[in-house]
A and B are shown apart, each in its own frame.
Chain A
Amino acid sequence: MDLLDLIDAVQSVADGVLFGATYSLLGIGFTLIFGVMHKINLSYAAASIGAAYASLLVMSVVQAPAVLAFVAAAAAGGVIGGLVYLVGFRFIPLANPLATLMSTVGLLLLIDEIIVHATDGVPLSYPALFSDVIVQVGPFGLRGDLMFVFALGCVCMVLLLLLLYRTRLGLATRAVSQQPTASLLCGISTTRVNVLTFVITGVVGGIAGAMTGAAIGMLSPLLSLPLTVKGLIVTVIGGLGSIPGAIIAGLIVGGLENAFQFFRGVSERDLYIMLLLFAFLVFRPGGIFAKSSGRD
């Protein structure tokens, strides 16, 4: 491999790491919901894409700068998150994990189909910010839209960490995730915490959906299944319940994905990601920042 190939490889890995911020946000969402409810919400990535579509709807009604699409996506994500909780979790007995798993699968299909129905299955273009900016660092060029996505992702993560570790709501959330019964006895309403967790993760998901749209340049319902799988992978590689783990794992998966794509071609890319994940689960099931006594 000569120098030019090396530069190309590093360039594609850097692009991947920047895009990996989306995976990080999705991974955080899965981790948070699993943390407080010990349930998997498989409809999460679909809801995120749905929120991005909702923001496009808002943008088509009101003439507004492209930044507003992200705000609208976040708001729509919060609403969808609350609805998902109401429909898929509220009235199903918590003692039966299979039922909520299935109801979120139903919601995943439902959200996908609503999108297909509303758009006739045609991919829609999504406004990108700073797409004309390219920052030259030596021989490498960093795309402005990807950098914006990355920066936005970092801001979201910092805000989320502040929310979790510096507010009463965050304290309650962490209490419920550690010991639901004990926190109930302390006067914390677990239902309220659950709803708020879904709304907050929904907001994060909405932003992630918008980021995906902005980075790829378009939205398609076909995105939701791969994003679900990637989000779950990030959750596992980062370690369940670990937010720093999810952040790092998202960036790693983004970078590796592009590296495999560069060296082995797009058709084999995901195969290696899956094999890597499988190896990870076998040899290090607790994730990157594994604690000595993991629960699941």
Chain B
Amino acid sequence: MDFYLGLIQIIGVHTLLGLSAYCVLLTGQVSLAQAGFFAIGAYVAGILTVLAQWPLIPALAVAAVVSGAVACAVGFPALRVKGLMLVVATVAFGEAVRLFFFNFTYQIQAGVLHLGPHGAEGFRQIRYFPQHGWSTLDVALFIWTVVALVMAGLWWLDHSRIGAVLRAVGEDELAAQSVGINITAVKVSAMTVGGFIAGIGGGIFAHYTTHIEHAQFGVVLATFAIAYPILGGLSNVFGTLLAAVFIQGFLIEGLRFMGDWRNLLFGGLIVLAMNVRPRGLLDAGTTRALRRLFAPRKERSGA
């Protein structure tokens, strides 16, 4: 049972990561910096609960605000460029964050233990959940409450004027600009919201794994972050959720019985999915009625 609860926790955290990339992708920007914001959230939240003995929720809030602030600060220079240049700029930022934590050591002595991040060894002993008697089920419920809140928030955002503005910038920047939308402000706001969500996700991630290290926040995690919304489809937030379940639940855990061959299938199935569903999994049939709410897309070849 604990195995499935653990899987549910992983899917929840990865959904948060995917949703953070979803915000940015709505404005048509591909950001591979989400793993960096995730790392910042993880380290900040970990430091606050372990070293400063804060309760979890305020620590998560601060982690989210710090990640959001960093995202905002990075967004201004980074979003001056777009397309491939933005991909590279955000890869560079994400890697810089990872390498910063690779070299970051700040420890205090607590009894016989040294607590705090320690360079390449990572940050061990983030034991908030066991110390406060949270069971695996409690943690899973907590994570999914947060996921539900974030998804509800984004759903509301999507159906408000803000969502229309985000999508307008994503579909055609020039047209959006000519109707008086400040595209820089929109992109930076989307990036900030994305950083905020990634910060929450990272904070939770740090607490359920209890041990974080720089290698977990590399380019691979960043590509996973954008993989969820792209694979799931950008028409609404449930696509990201579906893709997180598909990748983490099916491709990673569900295919475990295949042993070695699982990893081979993983890449192959992503390629196949993009060939048959170029606009994402949650694109066909059942959501067609839903999709008419948005601007009708032209081509749906292969689907």
User: Do A and B truly interact?
Assistant: yes
Q: Give chain A's interface residues, CB within 8 Å of chain B.
A: 34, 38, 40, 42, 87-88, 91-93, 95-103, 105-114, 116-117, 225, 228-229, 232-233, 235-236, 240, 267-268, 270-271, 274-275, 277-278, 281-282, 285, 296
In the complex, which residues of chain A have a beta carbon less than 8 angstroms from the beta carbon of B270? 102-103, 105-106, 109
**Nearest-Cβ distance from residue A26 to partner chain B, whole angstroms:** 13
The answer to whether B84 and A235 touch across the interface, beta carbons within 8 angstroms, is: yes
Residue interface mask B86-104, A partner, CB < 8 A = 1? 0111011101100110110
A91 touches B96 (CB 8 A): no
Assess the A98–B88 pair: CB atoms within 8 A: no
Chain A residue at minimum C-beta to C-beta distance from B74: A278
Answer whether residue B111 sits at the interface, using C-beta atoms and an 8 A cutoff.
no
Can you report 27 A-B residue pairs in the complex whose CB atoms are below 8 A from each other? A88-B271, A91-B302, A92-B274, A92-B302, A97-B83, A99-B279, A101-B30, A101-B230, A102-B270, A103-B271, A107-B271, A109-B267, A110-B264, A112-B267, A117-B264, A225-B218, A235-B84, A236-B88, A267-B99, A270-B95, A271-B102, A274-B95, A275-B92, A277-B88, A278-B92, A285-B80, A296-B82
Contacts of A281 in B (CB 8 A): 77-78, 81, 85, 88-89, 92
B19 within 8 A of partner (CB): no
A98-B30 in contact given A229-B219, A270-B99 (Cβ < 8 Å): yes
Cβ contact within 8 Å between B87 and A232? yes
Docked-complex contact B223 and A105, CB < 8 angstroms: yes
**B88 touches which of A87, A109, A113, A232 (Cβ 8 Å):** A232
A98 is contacted by which of B25, B220, B260, B267 (Cβ under 8 Å)? B25
Whether B91 contacts A229 by the Cβ 8 Å rule is yes
Residues of A within 8 A of B95 (CB): 229, 270-271, 274
**With A236-B85, A285-B81 as contacts: A87 and B264 at CB distance below 8 Å:** no
Is the CB of B180 closer than 8 A to any CB of chain A?
no
For B264, give the chain A residue with the smallest CB separation: A113
Contact in complex: A99, B274 (CB < 8 Å): yes
Our count of residue pairs bridging A and B at CB distance below 8 angstroms stands at: 151
Using Cβ atoms and an 8 Å threshold, which residues of chain A touch B230? 98-99, 101-102
Chain B residues engaging chain A, CB cutoff 8 angstroms: 25, 30, 77-78, 80-85, 87-89, 91-93, 95-96, 99-100, 102-103, 119-120, 218-220, 223, 226-227, 230-231, 234, 260-261, 263-264, 266-271, 273-275, 278-279, 298-299, 301-302
Residues on B with beta carbons closer than 8 Å to the beta carbon of A275: 92, 96
Contacts of B85 in A (CB 8 A): 236, 240, 281, 285, 296
Closest B residue by C-beta to A99: B278
Judging by beta carbons under 8 Å apart, are B103 and A267 in contact? Answer: yes
- For the complex, give the distance between the alpha carbons of A13 and B2 in Å: 53
Q: Out of A228, A240, A270, A271, which one reaches B84, CB within 8 Å?
A: A240
Residues of B near A270 (CB, < 8 A) are 95, 99
**Pair B89/A107 contact, Cβ less than 8 Å:** no
Residues of B within 8 A of A236 (CB): 84-85, 88-89
- Closest B-chain residue to A101, C-beta based? B30
Partner of A267, one of B78, B82, B102, B218: B102
Q: Are B102 and A225 in contact (CB under 8 A)?
A: no
CA distance A88 to B37 in the complex (A): 29
Determine whether the beta carbon of A282 is less than 8 Å from that of B77.
yes
Whether the Cβ atoms of B267 and A108 lie closer than 8 Å is yes
User: Measured between C-beta atoms, what is the minimum distance from B105 to chain A in Å?
Assistant: 11
Interfacial chain A residues near B220, Cβ < 8 Å = 225
Minimum C-beta distance from A112 to chain B (A): 8
Q: Is the CB of B266 within 8 A of A109?
A: yes
A275 to B224, CA, bound (A): 23
- Among B82, B96, B274, chain A packs the most CB atoms within 10 A around the CB of B274
Question: Is the CB–CB distance between B271 and A34 below 8 Å?
Answer: no
Q: Taking A271-B96, A281-B78 as given, write out 19 further A-B residue pairs in contact, using a Cβ cutoff of 8 Å, ordered by the A residue number.
A: A40-B87, A92-B275, A93-B299, A93-B301, A99-B274, A100-B274, A103-B275, A106-B269, A106-B270, A113-B263, A232-B84, A232-B87, A236-B85, A240-B85, A271-B99, A274-B92, A274-B93, A278-B96, A281-B81
Shortest CB-to-CB span from A235 to chain B, Å, is 7
Cβ of B274 to closest chain A Cβ, rounded Å:
4
Closest 8 CB pairs of A and B: A110-B267, A106-B270, A109-B267, A271-B99, A106-B271, A296-B83, A103-B274, A274-B96
User: What are the residues of chain B within 8 A of A274 when measuring CB–CB?
Assistant: 92-93, 95-96, 99
Q: Contact between B103 and A271 (Cβ–Cβ < 8 Å)?
A: yes
Closest to B271 in A: A106
CB proximity of B159 to chain A, nearest CB, Å: 22
- Chain B residues with Cβ under 8 A from A106's Cβ? 267-271, 273-274
Q: How far is the CA of A274 from the CA of B218 in the complex (A)?
A: 13
- Contact among B25, B223, B278 for A96, CB-based, below 8 A: B278
A225 B103 Cβ-Cβ under 8 A: no
Residue with the highest number of chain A CB atoms closer than 10 Å, among B96, B270, B271, B298: B271
Closest to A285 in B: B81
Residues of B within 8 A of A42 (CB): 223
A87 to B271, CA, bound (A): 7
Please measure, in the bound complex, the distance between the C-alpha atom of A277 and the C-alpha atom of B274, giving whole angstroms.
31
**Residues of chain B lying within 8 A (CB to CB) of residue A93:** 278, 299, 301-302
Contact in complex: B80, A233 (CB < 8 Å): no
